[in-house]
Structure 1
């Protein structure tokens, strides 16, 4: 039995919460079975400019076999605990504000389970340790600008995988400035619909901190852009026309009347990836 993508609910451990229902289902099973529970946890990280929320800050996975806990895994989707961000830039203030919080959480988990944490494998961004992550400022991360090298492509592939193949997409790469509109739902930013200032490209950038909802919404907005191109509109015309019409409720709505401008698509992707 494997249950993934569970939400903690509100309050987290109320009897009717998804996690408790999953545990009850697991307890009802008979036989020699492995049970894997995976819970995606929202949370906040701190910066000198304020407090920011991510809908998927951590994921907790618990594996049980025959009623015995085998493995409890904690994953994080934020670089707030690192001395260098995913573009290889030092961030001592962000690290100082957040790393002790992660260390305290690991201490609490260790006390609860009665064993110290075992660090995971090093990756392109960081080197895990028993208290969080090692300071890589002297040796540098595995890749310079790992975000620009890997994450942009990964996010594009994930979005494209949710749509049928089509020859009606605008070009999705541009080197110049872009104009963009913010997509919001229930007071939260899901992503940005953009068009190149020179009218050569258009697309959608999901806001990483919004989690899976940002990618779900993206399929709708990319479909709107496809339909605009199919009808003969240029990227900027699509941004000022079809994109402003109400989409399905789950896709959110355009939050402003006038597009904002970013100096490049890279700058917009960095904005969406961090905040």
Structure 2
């Protein structure tokens, strides 16, 4: 399953920037390059995704001095002209004490299940922080449970872990070697406990929380999604949960499924479930459809009527998306929420 928040994180502290002989941007760029090449070589990422370059004064982090966010990154040896230009623009500025330079990548990647490849648009993120005083921090995060012996609903999946965990372990070892620093596994998350080799064996030690997918991931991504929708939702939207079966239709951007527009068959509940494997676009793509549901509710449409009204509809805003013209049925909203995290 794919999450919107990290399943686990790991950290390294490479040697500091070597004074005037080396710039912070060149060190950060080199580390990102090496880590991405390592992940590509092991088949964990494809190399493509988005990147961000941010320069901040640590006394006013909320207002960066310079920022370029979510710049497309191309597969191949380089990052593509957009990200290189963004790094160059920030790199032209001097990195002074009390300033922080952050370069980060959100990388599409792949794992396997019974030998079948699966893809997520944000499987790993890599971040390099360089302080004006010279200190460097490298962080790697993953957003999948493919490395775990229990999935996020506590179902055993030792075969899936056996297919994928060795490549993650190899990546962590290689990153430690190329940085010349020891790995620092991050704190346990709501989903798992990171270790120097990947993750602890949940079949042996048990999960920290029962059903971390339903307990934390589903409410957390609903909060994130609603934070993107303008205006107050109080009293304006359909109910967000139901105990009844639901009908749903896929929301697509080209060939990519962004999420699922749904309506209860038994009460006044309707909404949108983001498909986590589509990455950030899954959340952004749901906003216009939630606003249309809100408008239909204000006009007196029932939940099922609203879904029928939107079947086959298109949104021509930035990026654009469309609702498929055919609705399907899921046994419950919980089943649809799980589907949205599984592929």
TM over 0.5: yes
Where 2:314 maps in the other structure, the secondary structure is: coil
Residue 23 of structure 1: aligned partner? 87
Aligned length in residues: 273
What pairs with 1:1-275 in structure 2 (closer than 5 Å)? Answer: 1=55, 5-11=70-76, 13-14=78-79, 16-18=81-83, 20-30=84-94, 31-32=96-97, 33-48=99-114, 50-66=116-132, 68=134, 70-163=136-229, 164-166=231-233, 167-249=235-317, 250-255=319-324, 257-275=325-343
Q: Contact 1:228–1:242 (CA<8 Å) still a contact in 2?
A: no
Q: Is contact 2:225–2:287 with CA below 8 Å preserved after alignment?
A: yes
Write out per-residue CA displacement over residues 122-161 of structure 1, whole angstroms, 9 at most, x where no aligned residue: 1221111111111121221110101101111111111111
Q: In the TM superposition, what whole-angstrom CA distance separates every residue of 1:103-140 from its partner, at most 9, and x where no partner exists?
A: 12112212221123211111221111111111121221
Give the TM-score normalised by structure 2: 0.75
Task: Give the whole-Å Cα distance in 1 for the aligned partners of 2:144 and 2:77.
Answer: 22
| In structure 2, C-alpha distance between the alignment counterparts of 1:228 and 1:142, rounded to whole Å | 42
Distance 1:17 1:97 in 2: 35
C-alpha distance in structure 1 between counterparts of 2:200 and 2:75, whole Å: 34
Query: Does structure 1 retain, via aligned residues, the 8 Å contact 2:153–2:210?
Result: yes
TM-score, structure 1 normalization: 0.93
Give how far 1:254 is off. Answer: 1.9
SS in 2 for 1:173: coil
Counterpart Cα distance in 2 of 1:49 and 1:271: 20
What CA deviation, in whole Å up to 9, does each residue of 1:22-65 have, x standing for no partner?
33234312133321112111111111272111111011010112
Contact 1:7 1:40 in 2 (8 A): no
Deviation above 3 Å: which 4+ runs of structure 1? 2-7, 66-69
Q: Distance in 1 between matches of 2:213 and 2:80?
A: 40
Could you say what secondary structure the match of 1:241 adopts?
helix
SS at match of 2:204: coil
Contact 1:8 1:17 in 2 (8 A): yes
- SS for the counterpart of 1:13 is coil
DSSP 3-state at the match of 1:214: helix
Q: Which has the higher contact order (CA 8 A, sep 6+)?
A: 2
